[in-house]
Amino acid sequence: MKVIAIGRNYAAHAKELNNPLPTSPVIFMKPDTAVLKDNKPFYLPDFSSDIHYELEVVLKICKEGKHIAEKFASGYFDEVGLGIDFTARDIQNIHKEKGLPWELAKAFDNSAAISHFIPKDKIEDLNNLQFELKINGETRQNGNTSNILFSFEKIISFVSQYITLKKGDLIFTGTPEGVGQVQQGDKLEAWIGEEQFLNFDIK
């Protein structure tokens, strides 16, 4: 499986990082070794002093597809969960200044924490999905999919023009505003509505 992530998909987040609004989805990828499951702790790496959390809705692809028309794209994912896109912001900023790829800042081991998944038909309205991240009991991110720049269907269609999607692939769909640094000892908890999806520690 592969992890495909969308950058700058919430206008307020793009603004808080002083990034221009994209006119098409911004894509980056994480390898399977980035996946952190089952609420296992995240260990701060020694190569960065500024690891940031980014809470995102994650789609699980349910069948293979390429050149998918947007009107059919909803048939290519059947489950939804939450994930944290951990980012080495200090490394990313250096690479952005030099016009280099983001992989060292985004694709390192355990940088994609993922929750359990639920069938998408259990969600009343995917276009009005409320999700929240608390750190040490304090709300840090409170997002709603009604604010995304590119819909889930648009993302799937766009990506599939370049990269074949396969069953089990994960798509991180972008983070709302409120990102920030994690510290050793922090507890991260995340919800969709009233259901908790993530609960793990930073070590």
Nearest residue to 123 (alpha-carbon basis) of 74, 79, 168: 79
Task: Tell me the average pLDDT across 84-104.
Answer: 95
Name the token pair of 85: 């896109």
CA separation for the pair 63, 77 (Å, rounded): 7
Q: For the chain, what is the largest distance between any 2 Cα atoms, rounded to a whole number of angstroms?
A: 45
- Write out 140-165 in H/E/C secondary structure: EEEEEHHHECCCHHHHHHHHHCCCCE
Q: Tokens representing 79?
A: 């489950």
Write the pLDDT tens digit of every residue in 32-72.
999 999 999 999 999 999 999 999 999 999 999 999 999 99
**From the CB of residue 108, how many other CB atoms can be counted at a distance below 10 Å?**
21
Whether residue 19 is predicted with pLDDT greater than 90 in this model: the reply is no
pLDDT number for residue 20: 83
Residue 18 has pLDDT above 80, yes or no: no
pLDDT attached to residue 12: 78
Instruction: Label residue 16 by pLDDT band (50, 70, 90).
Output: confident
Q: What is the pTM of this model?
A: 0.96
115-152 pLDDT, tens per residue?
999 999 999 999 999 999 999 999 999 999 999 999 99
Average pLDDT score over residue span 145-160:
97
Q: What is the pLDDT of residue 49?
A: 98
pLDDT of res. 17: 75
